[in-house]
Amino acid sequence: MTRVCALDELTPLDPRRVVIGKHTVCVVRIEDDVYAIGDVCSHAEVSLSEGEVDPDTRHIECWKHGSQFSLETGEPDSLPAVLPVPVYTARVEGGDVFVEVEE
């Protein structure tokens, strides 16, 4: 697991783009829960960390074409995206956020 930041550094509902090795990851905080998914929309090669988060459905919306991706599964719930984005394990330990990616 890689430390990406302190939990206090993540503003709730404000996605953050981080690079871990060769992976670009979108990290999202909803209350005290943290999610990590692939940062690139599977439809248009656009950064998901620039999108809006829906805390009720736990989705992030691609700002370019409006596809919404589950922060829990990476699956798109609306067109035009039809392919999922990767989901990574995110954990909070001792006030720090850690994300696990497979190299």
Instruction: Domains for the chain: give ranges and CATH numbers.
Output: 2-100 (2.102.10.10)
Q: For 39-76, write each residue's pLDDT tens digit.
A: 999 998 899 999 999 999 999 999 999 999 999 999 99
pTM beyond 0.85, yes or no: yes
Backbone torsions φ then ψ of 80, nearest 5 degrees: -85, -10
22 three-state secondary structure: coil
Helices (H), the chain: none
